[in-house]
Chains A and B, each alone.
Chain A
Amino acid sequence: MSGVNLKTYAENTWCPGCGNFGILKAFEMAVEELSSEIPLENFVIASGIGCHGKIVDYINLNSFYSIHGRALNNLQGMRLINDKLICVGFVGDGDIYAEGISHLIFAAKRNANLTAIVHDNRSYSLTTGQFTPTSPSHFKGKSTPEGPPEDPMNPVLLMLSAGATFVARGFAGDIPHLKELIKAAIKHKGFSFIDVLQPCVTFYNTFAYYRKHCYKLEEAGHDPTDFNAAVERAREWDYSADTENAKIPIGIFYQIEKPTYEERV
């Protein structure tokens, strides 16, 4: 590894064992490995609000610490001014699947050339544990002691139908695999989406469950250029049935090339 120092002096305030550490580590490794081809000053990271958002304080790169749900639009604005910028948005499941869902769908529809990494812990944790759009119906949160009266959405399926040209799922507990996904997403020309299963050790600890049930698409002979196959894989797990026979695919579901928003504007 080169001597790239991506650390800041900010004190890390995530809970010990938080899934966010895995995402931070994987991203730092990805940036180090990409730093030979991408000057560090060309990176811009942005985040929304939630535990995930703190990540921009911990990384010594250009950053825009946005408000809840809006980070991807800040990045789109930057890209329209300077297309040399490598834009990565760290967003949360409450952040971008609830508050900012319209922005996520449109970033995908436009094929804006940026990467969205969703810290999907399936819980509003910084606000001490309410259900989010990807919480299962048995999630007993502070606002829904009996579980939410609605079923979770499947963001992978949503992104496939919205027109994202790079759709992946990662697991914060598998850092080398996630690092490769992040590298591939950054290198992809167009809108890259990674839903990262990120256990929250305090409000929804899913580490053991994901370890047991995740399998890798690239090891299962999946063809990421086949849209129908991608949809089929995306439907294998619906974010609700955390059952014993669940199979959760991680890896790249879908990847194609299309002109980007910035090229077409």
Chain B
Amino acid sequence: MNIEAVKSIYLFEMARTRRTLLQSVVSPVMSTSLYFIVFGAAIGARIQEIDGVSYGAFITPGLMMLTLLTQCIGNGSFGIYFPKFTGTIYEVLSSPISMVEIVLGYVGAAATKGLMIGTIILATASLFVDLSIAHPFVMLFFFVLTAITFSLFGFIIGIWAKDFEQLNLIPMLVVPPLVFLGGSFYSIDMLPPFWRAVSHFNPVLYLISGFRWSFFEISDVNPVASAAIILVFLTLCMSVLTWIFHTGYRLRN
């Protein structure tokens, strides 16, 4: 294992976060605070509790997931796309480093950033609403696994993307509807039966539901199903990456 190389890539990526602190950290915190002010304080005060949880608290796990998904996909894809775009990828490809180590460096950094921002949002949320976490280890399980899985997903997008349009396609057009319709701001019990059934095909519903269960012990779907979905998605991403490394798809062709 080339530990020095993994460390180099990881620290290099983390240094980018420091350089772009405003964009990387302050901006997601700012937008989440706005959500809390609008939905939590202004509108939330007029919305009744959901299963005994105040509306402001209810949306916290969903907002964390929204940010975590967006950030991890964004960081994971940009981290590998940018050297591809500038051409500096030649150096990574000609280094004595296996693809697994490349992933550890890039995806590790992307997941770390996502987790940092998620934590900051949790801290921000606790300023606005009363929060308690019923199952901290389950919460960490969903938090960390989602970060890793979606950073991997982002990494795949970064390898696949041929231009900035493709790079932004999934994070901008696919992720927001899945998150917003995945019960970030409501319980799917509030939906008419047809849309409730449709929602079950949205994988993000399972993530948000499981994550919310770890906070308040309330969920739209069985938390075990949530855990299974995230593990399936993680396996799927790893399989696709294994294929990519095996064939050199868009990297060594």
A and B assemble together? no
